[in-house]
Amino acid sequence: MIAGKIYTVSEVTRIVKGLFRKEPEFANLQIQGEVSNFRQYPSGHCYFNLKDGKTLLKAVMFAGAARRLKQLPKNGDQVLGVGRIDLYERDGVYQFYVDMMMPLGAGNLMIAYEQLKEKLTAEGLFDPGRKRPLPAYPKVVGIVTSPAGAAVRDIINVAGRRDPSVKLRLYPVKVQGTEAPPEIIRGIRFMNRHKLADVLIVGRGGGSMEDLWAFNDEGVVRAIAASEIPVISAVGHEIDFTLSDFAADLRAPTPSAAAELAVPERSGDREILAKLVRRLERTMELRLQDSSRTLEKLQEEWVFTHPERLWENAGQTLDTLCRNLEQAGTRRLEERQQKLDLLAAKLGALDPYGVLRRGYTITENAQGRTVRQPSDLHPGDTLVTRFAQGAVVSQVETVKEGTE
């Protein structure tokens, strides 16, 4: 009996594929070689071999990457391919998946391109979080490009057609050669320093990698990333990619597309506005009709046809209130008079002169103090006896105690 685990072909293939994917060097390779057995299928995918004097490597370029080629390679061409190594499970063979290809003469530029791209990526210059939205309705669009190229004419034509009210400000620069990068940098900085635009279009028409190289310049890329004005990169054609595209807030495949992105289509806005105006007019008309009908109904109400009824009931209510008020006032006066009479009677009962009027007298000594008992007097004291009307003055001869 065979000892140990027995693998299926699929299991072994998956293990080997995992080994390829674990190796980071295989994820981004630059391989040069001679193209052989090149063929493109109706799907757009391209299959070929890369070989040198000693060995051969199967390669594939899918349709999306193939469309970016300016021209397809031919058998015998020396090329530089950029891509990854992976295993094709169905056939159990490893192959080179090519994302980018160029003639071998462009290899040095591509190496410089990849090195600078890696450096700026590590710095965060291409992070999506740095991207800013374009203004929805810009008043001024700044253009940094050649005044003589087709790109500026395309931008002017498209922008004018989409919204004639938008102003275009051109900062003319060279877009090719050693003088181009510093001029492009000055143009971007000038537009920012003087706040001359709401959005910037920086770019040029198509060309070879060498023609477009000014837009891979590190200074240009950093100027675009540092721009306070949102930047649309419009370099070359749809298949062309430069480092400026990664640094810009938005990439346009062509200068014409950049104008479409920067300038909103106002003819559509005018149609929408006209529809809104018509809708508003219709709504107001319906509202007025409803209000007129409501007013007519209100005018038929008794409040408007017989307004005197409003104060008829009010007059009756007022009479009732007056009557109730008068009765309440009379009752309150009677109650107060009764209380006053009662208090007067009580007060009269306490009045000493009232006692005198009933036949009693009050006796006082010479000091005016009331004599209450015989012991308060002595023989010879002067007495004043008060009646209800008048008084009698007498002198004490004898003081007797007791009831006799």
Q: Which whole number is the average pLDDT over 334-347? A: 85
Q: 213-269: per-residue pLDDT in tens?
A: 899 999 999 999 999 999 999 997 766 688 999 999 999 989 999 999 999 887 666
Mean pLDDT for the stretch of residues 341-349: 79
Confidence of residue 114 (pLDDT cuts 50, 70, 90): confident
pLDDT computed for residue 119 by the predictor:
92
Burial 138-150 (b: 16+ CB within 10 A, else e): bebbbbbbbeeee
Strand partners, 29: 83
Asked, for residue 2, whether it belongs to a domain, the answer is no
How far apart CA 209 and CA 176 sit, in angstroms, is 11
User: Among 222, 274, 279, which residue's Cα sits nearest to residue 246?
Assistant: 222
Look at residue 401 and tell me if it is in a domain.
no
Does residue 273 lie in a domain region? yes
Q: Are residues 283 and 387 in the same domain?
A: no
More confident residue, 287 or 356: 287
pLDDT confidence band for 320 (50 / 70 / 90)? confident
User: What is the per-residue pLDDT for 3?
Assistant: 67
Residue 128 and residue 237 in one domain: yes
Report d(CA 82, CA 59) in Å as an integer. 11
Same domain, 253 and 139: yes
State the average pLDDT over residues 117-128. Answer: 92
pLDDT in tens, 25-42: 888 888 989 998 999 999
Lowest-confidence region among 8-17, 41-50, 165-174, 226-235:
8-17
Q: Are residues 149 and 97 in the same domain?
A: no
Q: Is residue 128 in a domain?
A: yes
Residue 354 has pLDDT above 70, yes or no: no
Give residue-wise pLDDT tens across range 383-398.
888 877 788 878 878 8
Distance in Å from the first CA to the final CA of the chain: 163
- Of 232, 224, 134, 146, give the one whose Cα is nearest residue 188: 224
Do both 33 and 76 map to the same domain?
A: yes
pLDDT interval class at 297 (50, 70, 90): confident
Domain-located, residue 207: yes
CA atoms within 13 A on the CB side of 348: 8
SS (HEC) of the chain: CCCCCCCCHHHHHHHHHHHHHHCHHHHCEEEEEEEEEEEECCCCCEEEEEECCCCEEEEEECHHHHCCCCCCCCCCCEEEEEEEEEEECCCCEEEEEEEEEEEHHHHHHHHHHHHHHHHHHHHCCCCHHHCCCCCCCCCEEEEEECCCCHHHHHHHHHHHHHCCCCEEEEEECCCCCCCHHHHHHHHHHHHHHCCCCCEEEEEECCCCCCCCHHHHCHHHHHHHHHCCCCEEEEECCCCCCCHHHHHCCEECCCHHHHHHHHCCCHHHHHHHHHHHHHHHHHHHHHHHHHHHHHHHHHHCCHHHHCCCHHHHHHHHHHHHHHHHHHHHHHHHHHHHHHHHHHHHHHHHHHCHHHHHHCCCCEEEECCCCECCCHHHCCCCCEEEEECCCCEEEEECCCCCCCCC
The residue type found at 28 is N
Tokens found for residue 401? 């105690």
Q: How many independent structural domains does the chain possess? A: 4
Q: How far is CA 383 from CA 354, 355, 364, 395, in A?
A: 21, 19, 6, 6
128 and 182 assigned to the same domain = yes
Structure tokens at 313: 């009931």
Average pLDDT on 174-196 reads 94
Residues 253 and 288 grouped into a single domain: no
Residue 278 within a domain = yes
Whether 345 is covered by a domain: the verdict is no
Where is the domain boundary, 73, 104, 135? 104
- Do 213 and 252 belong to one domain? yes
**Residue 222 corresponds to which tokens in the numbers above?**
């950093």
The pLDDT value recorded for residue 403 is 57
- Distances in whole angstroms, Cα of residue 243 to Cα of each of 87, 113, 222, 225, 392: 31, 8, 10, 11, 140
- 142 shares a domain with 78: no
Mean pLDDT of 278-295: 89
* 1 domain-assigned: no
* Residue 102 Rama label (left phi>0; alpha psi -120 to 50; beta): beta
- Domain identity same for 128 and 258: yes
pLDDT tier, 159 (very low <50, low <70, confident <90, very high otherwise): very high
Residues 160 and 256 reside in one and the same domain: yes
What average pLDDT does this structure show over 65-91?
87
The last residue of a domain, from among 262, 282, 316: 262
Tokens in use for 149? 């190229």
Predicted confidence (pLDDT) per residue in 33-66, tens digit: 999 899 999 999 999 999 987 889 999 999 988 9
pLDDT of residue 385: 81
Q: Specify the CATH number for the domain of residue 131.
A: 3.40.50.2300
Rg (CA), the chain: 58
Query: What is the extent of the structural domain holding 183?
Result: 124-262
Residues 164 and 283 in one domain: no
Angle at the Cα of 82 (from 77 to 86), degrees rounded to 5? 110
